[in-house]
Amino acid sequence: MKARFIAGLVGALCLGLMIVASTAAAGKSSTGLVVGPVVTPPYALSTFAQSESGYSDPDSVTFNESDIFIGYGNGGAPDGSGGAKSTIVEYDMTGTVVATFTVVGHNDGLRINPSDGSLWALQNEDANPNLVVIDLKSGKQTVAQFPEPTPHGGGYDDLVFTKGGIFVSASNPANNPNTGPAIISVKLKGKTIKVEPVLAGEAQATNVLTGDTVTLNLQDPDSMILDPFGELILDSQGDGEEVVVHFPGQSCQSAFVVPLTYPTGADTFAGLMADDTAFATSDAGFIIFADKQLQTVYKIAAPYFFIGAAYTAFQDDSGTFGFVGRTDFSTGVSTPIITGLGNPGGMAFIPSSIGKLSVPEIPKCPK
């Protein structure tokens, strides 16, 4: 299911070569891959946290008013087989461990429910999915199983809370073309989860680069986030595209597809796939992202963030080279700002002043 991205933009060769040349000081492995992160000014990079004895493979990232939460997959199978267990680590804003939680399965989705402050953890993105809701005050866990079989034949990867519903990405579809849903909505009552389709894997969408109407075939629905304008953004990782859903779950819902490109000119940029995207919600703050290959959670700082700017983590299908780029959703181009990474994935923008979390609203259908 891991398709390769389309070729980069014509004329980007020089930019790609300059970026690769700037990594020389970091050193290279015997395979020619860059070893260690290389930062493009004005951004600055520091280590926020690292894997420790007992937990490894950091990925999912979320936060509340005081703390940051990282999901460690611990090398578990993405279908939860083999006794997979994950560790959710709660850090304060300086990277000091506050608490740890063990959940059954392979974690690949983590969000704070703004309505009650609980932590929702999704496990097993390939099959046999479950949801664990953690009361952060007591540490109590409530485990809920999704209805089986899932309507698309796979698992669930990521979730977004809105006043219009709780949306979940439906990952690892069983069919090609994908005739199942790529996004669902969920309602949780006790330990019972009710599922409703929102966006079909073969939905009609407008290509933002050409204006043409196309039929999607989403073979790798993955990470998901709400942008600052109330649009739902779904990353179809192996397909090399982002899907923007206007008015999700409403009668006027529509979709736009953004094919992703990036500077080319070196073999290390071939075959990269997008993972999490984070949007700057304040001009002051920082970005947290996790790199499974380097076993490190990083912090990106800058003198100023443009509100609404998008940042995306990219990795290759071998998990040995990746970068974080600033992504232009009108062109699909993501320009690297941090290169020399291994397998970056989970990402979140943390504003300098958070305040009490509120459930985000999505625009209503025009009257």
pLDDT at 32 over 90: no
Q: β-strand 97-104 against 296-301: which pairing, if any?
A: unpaired
Which residues, 6 or more positions from 318, have their beta carbon under 8 angstroms from its beta carbon?
none
pLDDT at 18 over 90: no
pLDDT at 26 over 70: no
Residue 317 binned pLDDT confidence (cut-offs 50, 70, 90): confident
pLDDT at 247 over 50: yes
**Whole-prediction pTM:** 0.90
List the domain boundaries for the chain: 13-351
Report pLDDT for 316. 82
Domain 13-351 maps to which CATH number in 2.130.10, 3.90.920, 1.10.10, 2.60.40? 2.130.10
pLDDT at 296 over 50: yes
pLDDT at 245 over 90: yes
Q: Within 13 Å, how many C-alpha atoms sit on residue 133's CB side? A: 15
Closest CA to 270 of 344, 219, 320: 320
DSSP calls for 95-151: S-EEEEEEEES-EEEEEE-TTT-PEEEEE-SSSS-EEEEE-TTT--EEEEEPPSS-T
Report pLDDT for 270. 61
| CB neighbours of residue 137 within 10 Å | 8
Q: What average pLDDT does range 285-298 have in this prediction?
A: 97
